[in-house]
């Protein structure tokens, strides 16, 4: 009886691990899309609204969903705080603090990292160009992420279940 | 006797599951990984068979060589 329970738990754990992996594949393109929308809104804020960067980031953060929301809000808070961090430092700090919670990979992180060097330091035209460049790169990543989802999404669920059953048979 | 039957079923189960994992990985386009999985499954089964063969040889030795 206990043995049966243990088997069930192992199979369940394998299946859940597979589902978790699949969900990460599903959420990556969504989050990249959100990031692209944020880039476009940021462009508007900078070119037409003349909004200061912390305020703009705060506004972006309050409009989107969770893992990215806390990233933008903490970046904005770091800029506003009395610690005297530059825009670049506060974005990079927010990246290292909140990136693990998103489903995105190093390529997108690198895009934001590159963007942080120019954001808030140069004139408007330059910043807008860099934001457009970042959005372009993110679009490429989104296409790649969708291809990956088609390829690996459903199969990783199967693989999780199969590995769970294999472990059960091996230690039976 | 009972244990032997169990072992055979276990080996058959490993074979089936490994074959399914191989197909899944092949569909994902990771053929090299699929071959590694097959190889590792083969080695695991080989170890189980070697252990059983060892007991068989010990039996034969104890019968014919009167240890």
Residue A9: predicted pLDDT: 94
> Which residues, in sequence order, are CB contacts of A132 under 8 Å at separation 6+?
A39, A43
CA distance A72 to A61: 5
Residue of B nearest to A155 (CA): B24
Q: Single out the residue of A107, A94, A104, A100 nearest to residue A33, CA to CA.
A: A104
CA distance A148 to A132: 24
Q: How far does B44 lie from chain A, in Å, by closest CA?
A: 9
Please say if the pLDDT value at position A89 is more than 80.
yes
ipTM of the complex: 0.73
- Answer whether A169 sits within 8 Å of B10, measured CB to CB: yes
Q: Which of B6, B21, B29 sits opposite A162 (nearest CB)?
A: B21
Is residue A12 situated within a structural domain?
Answer: no
Q: Which of A35, A20, A24 is CA-nearest to residue A140?
A: A35
**Residues in chain B within 8 Å Cβ distance of A163:** 21
Look up the domain containing A131 and give its range.
30-153
Predicted TM-score (pTM) of this structure: 0.75
* Assigned domain for A110 exists: yes
pLDDT at A39 over 90: no
- Check B29 against A170: CB less than 8 A apart: no
Residue pLDDT, tens place only, A115-124: 888 877 778 8
Set of chain A residues whose Cβ sits within 8 Å of the Cβ of B20: 158, 162
The three-point CA angle A103-A109-A113 to 5° equals: 155
Task: State the pLDDT confidence band at B2, using cuts at 50, 70 and 90.
Answer: low
B20 touches chain A (CB under 8 A): yes
Contact A172 B20 (CB under 8 A): no
Number of Cβ within 10 Å of residue A42's Cβ equals 25
**What is the model's pLDDT at position A13?**
95
A109: in domain:
yes
* Contact at CB, A152 and B28, closer than 8 angstroms: yes
Q: How far is A102 from chain B (nearest CA, A)?
A: 24
Q: In this predicted model, what pLDDT tens digit does every residue of B13-42 receive, in sequence order?
A: 999 999 999 998 888 888 899 999 999 999
Calculate mean pLDDT across residues A92-116: 84
Q: Return all residues near A3 (Cβ < 8 A) that are at least 6 apart.
A: none
pLDDT above 60 for B1:
no
| Contact between chains at B28 and A163 (C-beta distance less than 8 A) | no
Q: Assess whether pLDDT exceeds 90 at residue A12.
A: yes
CA geometry: angle at B65 spanning B64 and B66, to 5°? 95
Q: Do B28 and A169 make contact, defined as CB atoms within 8 angstroms?
A: no
pLDDT at residue A124 in the model = 81
DSSP chain B: -HHHHHHHHHHHHHHHHHHHHHHHHHHTT-HHHHHHHHHHHHHHHHHHHHHHHHHHHHHHHHHHS--
Distance of CA A19 to the CA centre of its chain: 18
Radius of gyration of chain A (CA): 21
Total domains in chain A come to: 1
User: What's the rounded mean pLDDT across residues A75-85?
Assistant: 78
B21 with A155: Cβ contact below 8 A: no
Alpha carbons A35 and A121: distance in angstroms, whole number:
21
CB pairs under 8 A between A and B: 30
């Amino acid at each position: 009886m206990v043995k049966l329970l243990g088997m069930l738990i192992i199979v369940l754990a394998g299946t859940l691990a597979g589902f978790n992996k699949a969900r990460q594949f599903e959420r990556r393109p969504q989050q990249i899309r959100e990031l692209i929308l944020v880039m476009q809104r940021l462009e508007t804020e900078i070119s037409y609204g003349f909004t200061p960067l912390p305020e703009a980031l705060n506004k972006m953060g309050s409009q989107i969903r969770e893992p990215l929301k806390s990233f933008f809000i903490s970046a904005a808070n770091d800029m506003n705080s009395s610690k005297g961090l530059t825009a670049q430092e506060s974005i990079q700090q927010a990246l290292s603090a909140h990136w693990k919670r998103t489903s995105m990979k190093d390529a997108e992180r690198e895009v934001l990292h590159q963007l942080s060097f120019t954001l808030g330091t140069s004139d408007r035209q330059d910043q807008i160009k860099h934001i457009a460049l970042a959005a372009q790169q993110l679009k490429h990543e989104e296409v790649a992420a969708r291809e990956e989802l088609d390829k690996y999404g459903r199969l990783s669920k199967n693989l999780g279940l199969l590995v769970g059953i294999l472990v059960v048979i091996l230690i039976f | 006797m009972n244990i032997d039957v169990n072992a055979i079923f276990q080996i058959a189960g490993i074979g089936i599951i490994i074959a399914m994992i191989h197909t899944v990985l092949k569909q994902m386009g990771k053929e090299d990984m699929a071959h590694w999985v097959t190889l590792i499954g083969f080695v695991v089964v080989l170890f189980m068979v070697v252990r059983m063969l060892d007991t068989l040889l010990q039996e034969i030795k104890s019968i014919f060589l009167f240890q």
